[in-house]
Amino acid sequence: MTNTGTIVLVETEDGLATEVSLEALTFARALGPVQAVVIGSEPGDGLLARLGEQGVEKLHLATDARLAAYSAAAWAAVLVDVARSTGAAVVLASGSPRGNEVLAHVAVRCEVAMAANVVAVNGAQPLQVSRQVVGGSVLEEMRLSEGLAVVSVAGHACEPASAGTLTTPEVVEVAVTLTDADLVARVVRTGEKPVDESAALTSARVVVGAGRGAGSADGFTDLLELTELLRGALGASRVVTSLGWRPHHEQVGQTGIRISPDVYIACGISGAIQHWAGIQSAKTIIAINTDADAPMVTKAHYAVIGDLHEVVPAINAELRRRTG
């Protein structure tokens, strides 16, 4: 039997598919028929409709009580079961922390290769893909194994888009086979759900970025005011968090958070690869920098050449004047 079709791990928040999971579904449609898998949570009211917009044919639900606490191995066991029972050719997820972790378990269980952070598919049988390496500054053309292909999709590799033909996904409950070993490394406690600034950072439409140009831990007053005036979120380059000027959860970049706001205002940031990896999918980038040749300036859409400590207060004053 020739394997066909793609199964996609759909991560949910409050019962609805996350934005990056919708991207993964859109990406997957280019490979053929798509079935979705939701693990460990009850589907919310609008979930089926959203999956239908994505052209999903079938939703495999794994609601076994043992899956309520996240365990990558257990989630992988579910995906492998579904892949085998459906004869899928591709197992796909978003390149989110969970997506990559679960897929690594799937790949090792199925003894096949895994391609992380894929941005394009270039050939089939075996699947050949382009994926981001070196913080997104280099593309690797990679050939996957014969047999099952395991692929995570880089965040913002595509925009979620509706399928041409809407579907009403058939819902099937997965009969899961879990071993004790699958459940050893599971979440035993979650922290109190704080006002999670990093979550605000990933969903903010406007992000004000702060780099070395801030000068010191005391150099953020104007930047924070700008952030507030625009009702945005503050992000920081790695230098800033490494120096302890701002907390680590505000770090945007290859080893921090990846964001895709409508507007990113990069203040005093040179634009090294480490940082660029986290902001390259911002729709509009405005750089404020003393150095007109800094990569952040040359790669930005708009720039102001000047010291952020002079430019930002002037912008704040102008914003206050206009918005009264």
Q: Does 156 bind other proteins (CB under 8 A)?
A: no
Using the minimum distance from each CB to other proteins, give the nearer residue, 164 or 194: 194
Q: Please list every residue from 211 through 250 that binds other proteins, using CB under 8 A.
A: 230-232, 238, 244, 248-249
Q: Which of residues 30-59 bind other proteins (CB under 8 A)?
A: none
Structure-block tokens of residue 25: 């579904």
**From the CB of 83, what's the least distance to other proteins, in Å?**
17
Q: Are 36 and 63 in contact (CB under 8 A)?
A: no
Q: Does 324 bind other proteins (CB under 8 A)?
A: no
- Yes or no: say if 130 and 27 are a contact pair by the CB < 8 Å rule: no
Q: For residues 288 and 311, is the Cβ–Cβ distance under 8 A?
A: yes
- Which positions from 111 to 150 touch other proteins by CB under 8 A, shown as an x/- string? --xxxxx----------x--xxxxx-xxxxxxxxx-----
Q: Which residues of 172-199 are buried (b: 16+ CB within 10 A; e: fewer)?
A: eebebebeeebeeebeeeeeeeeeeebe
Window 4-33: residues binding other proteins (CB under 8 A): 11, 13, 18
User: Contact region for other proteins (CB under 8 A) — 30-38, 54-62, 79-87, 184-192?
Assistant: 184-192
Q: Could you say whether residue 323 binds other proteins (CB under 8 A)?
A: yes
Nearer to other proteins, 85 or 298 (CB): 298
Binding characters for other proteins, 97-116, by CB under 8 A (x = yes) = xx-xx-xxx-xxx---xxxx
C-alpha distances out from residue 274 to 108, 257, 267, 270, Å: 29, 11, 16, 11
d(CA 69, CA 34): 26
Alpha-carbon distance 51 to 230, whole Å? 33
Q: Which of 171, 273, 281, 291 binds other proteins (CB under 8 A)?
A: 273
